Chain A
Amino acid sequence: MSTSAEPLVQVRDLVKHFPISRGIVFQRQIGAVKAVDGVSFDIRRGETLGIVGETGCGKSTTARLLVRLLDPTSGTVLLEGEDIAQRKGAGLKALHRDMQMIFQDPYSSLNPRKTIGSIIADPFVIHGLHREEGERKKRVQDLMDRVGLNPEHYNRYPHEFSGGQRQRIGVARAIALQPKLLIADEPVSALDVSIQAQVLNLLRELQREMGLTLVFIAHDLSVVRHMCDRVAVMYLGKLVELAPNESLYGFPRHPYTGALLSAVPVPDPSGGKRERQLLSGDVPSPANPPSACRFHTRCPKAQELCATEEPPLEEKGRQTLAACHFPLTEDEVRLRLPAALSAAK
């Protein structure tokens, strides 16, 4: 993986709070859902960065902040060193040429009243590219061919396609403007397992051909392992661990990552003794998160310090960044995830 000096995107202390307000005419804010609460990471050129976490941990909000579908409460997103929050008007429109998104639900992300041809041509229409009709149609059909759709289905409507085909249409729309960064928000979680691999392979292929940088959001750890160079783990709006693929799956340091990996079913039942680390209780409400380390209410290793002092995200060896006072030791990992550690060695 070649990585040039400057990362493509630098995210610094990104915060997004959604206000909770009460009252009909005279609204007052009575709290905030802290969907993303101080997240910092880099996206290197050409890499695939995975973001994993449970439902409601802020993955999708982070994705929407990256493409400015949402404006951050505070913090910055720098694209090639430039703050995207400062973009307005034409500059903001140009930003959308650099960053594109693939959505989770292939049934809701395509307008049912438009033909596939006009959906995929939308990026060209909006940005005033390829104005000549024949040229535009040819471009759209090239894109359809590229993502594995029959270009002759140009005039069909979304309801005539299967989920996997629809997701390919979404991919074609997203790569039409040849973006530098493609953000895939759970692109396969609504698809059948048999279709998932096809769409994933399509994304990898396009990434290689077009030199795309990919942010891949998912809750399926095995899908992320298949796709990503580095993986970020989120819990309740915080980044708890950020590590290269091999390190994260081989030697997770944050107890939450350990718990997630331990919940993945092992294909070999004779693999023998492993002490599954089950988490008790629900994820606390992001409107009222626990103090200091947000995981301390459910963490098997929590001590008093965890409730009073927030652990910084820092290097814990093997290029792993983890936010934990008492990271997992090698022995604990061996006990709980025998398969993981042996695979890494």
Chain B
Amino acid sequence: MSVGASELLVEGEPSVEAIELVPGEVTARSPWQLFWRRFRADRVAMASGIFIVLLILVAIFAPLIVSILGLPGPSVQNPNLTDAFGTPIGPTGAHPFGVDPLGEDVMSRVIYGARVSLEVGIIGTALSTFLGVSLGLIAGFYRGWADTGLSRLADVVLSFPILLFGLGIGAACAVNGCLGGAIQPGVQTIIAIIVIAGWTYIYRITRGQVLSLREKEFVEAARSLGASNRRIMFREILPNLVAPIIVYSSLLIPVNILFEAALSYLGVGVKPPTASWGQMIADATSNFQTVWWYMLFPGVALLLTVLAFNLVGDGLQDALNPKADR
């Protein structure tokens, strides 16, 4: 195949790539391939992404990592590690992050704490995204009463003082769980609060996008071909929503992680002995002038995690909407 012919085939693309192409299979870069090329070029977002992947691996393999590092389990209390006045020992070779006043290893607890943060951040965000997208599609597509009802409901939820609401639910579900035990105390309660409070952001974005997309001519074209409402919603409109949904839900993850930390800090979230960064920070406030390591390490873990998710979210936004200026 001559170079000239191949250039004709792929119009304007570099001939180096063109030569590798087999006629009949002219490759096209899908929007996703274009997105990936742009995302890969963003070093900060890529580094943050790698950090998140590592963090997820650490959370999944927490028991393995803790035993490889030769640390005690997160809930193993060793009174020998505190002095006569109850002050725990600081960072040493055996306990790189020190121990807490109960004689538990801080590093081990920070590693296990990643599980709670990621669980809440990812599951809570996934559920509230699913709920928000579903309701937003319905409201934006059908408009009318469905839209009025759902949008007013979202307004009501948005005007809740979410932290107070979370404190209330957390306290109410603290002992025996809520809804006849369907929501257990701890992580499940926090996720429930996040879903109740968090679907509204995604809902509003989805609804707005659907309202504008449903007026596009390609939707009219699908309708004039005889497509059903369901087909139009899922095959024509939903694929165009994927980019904004990914961006906003990736920015929702760090918000939810912080929310979990706040609830645990305030004592209605994850309860000891389960390790949670927020609850560790809360625990450390009483004597952090002497036991500074007990607050520092979970705090840094929280900061880095939230920062990484935010940077990845920004990177996704840039890569998915290269034309949008922030």
Beyond A113-B239, A157-B31, is A126–B226 a contact (Cβ under 8 Å)? Answer: yes
By a CB distance below 8 angstroms, the chain A residues around B30 are 115, 157
Beyond A96-B225, A112-B31, is A156–B217 a contact (Cβ under 8 Å)? Answer: no
By a CB distance below 8 angstroms, the chain A residues around B226 are 92-93, 95-97, 126-127
B227 touching A103, Cβ below 8 Å: no
Beyond A69-B224, A92-B226, is A111–B240 a contact (Cβ under 8 Å)? Answer: yes
By a CB distance below 8 angstroms, the chain A residues around B227 are 122, 126
A103: which of B9, B27, B217 is its contact (CB, 8 Å)? B217
Interface size class of A (residues with CB under 8 A): 35 or more
CB of A329 closer than 8 Å to a CB of B: no
Going nearest first, the 9 A-B pairs with the smallest beta carbon separation are A96-B226, A109-B217, A113-B239, A156-B28, A93-B226, A108-B217, A111-B218, A103-B217, A101-B224
Residues 61-107 of A contacting B (Cβ, < 8 Å): 64, 67, 69, 92-93, 95-97, 99-101, 103-105
B216 touching A153, Cβ below 8 Å: no
* Interface flags, B246-259, vs A, CB<8A=1, else 0: 00000000000000
Sample of 29 A–B contacts (CB below 8 Å) = A24-B148, A96-B226, A101-B224, A103-B220, A104-B217, A105-B217, A108-B216, A108-B217, A109-B216, A109-B217, A109-B218, A109-B221, A110-B218, A110-B221, A111-B218, A111-B222, A111-B239, A112-B31, A113-B31, A114-B239, A122-B222, A126-B227, A127-B225, A155-B25, A155-B26, A156-B28, A157-B30, A173-B221, A173-B225
Q: DSSP majority for the B interface? A: helix
CB of A330 closer than 8 Å to a CB of B: no
Q: How far is the CA of A161 from the CA of B159 in the complex (A)?
A: 46
CB of B24 closer than 8 Å to a CB of A: yes
Q: How far is the CA of A68 from the CA of B3 in the complex (A)?
A: 50
A156 touching B26, Cβ below 8 Å: yes
By a CB distance below 8 angstroms, the chain A residues around B217 are 103-105, 108-109
Measured between C-beta atoms, what is the minimum distance from A118 to chain B in Å?
A: 9
CB of A170 closer than 8 Å to a CB of B: yes
Q: How far is the CA of A173 from the CA of B27 in the complex (A)?
A: 22
* Residue in B closest to A185 when the chains form the complex, CB atoms: B217
A111 touching B224, Cβ below 8 Å: no
By a CB distance below 8 angstroms, the chain A residues around B239 are 111, 113-114
CB of B236 closer than 8 Å to a CB of A: yes
CB of A25 closer than 8 Å to a CB of B: yes
* Interface flags, A169-202, vs B, CB<8A=1, else 0: 0100100010000000000000000000000000
By a CB distance below 8 angstroms, the chain B residues around A112 are 31, 240
Q: How far is the CA of A115 from the CA of B148 in the complex (A)?
A: 35
User: Chain A CB within 10 Å — which of B31, B148, B221, B242 has the most?
Assistant: B221
Measured between C-beta atoms, what is the minimum distance from B174 to chain A in Å?
A: 39
CB of A133 closer than 8 Å to a CB of B: no
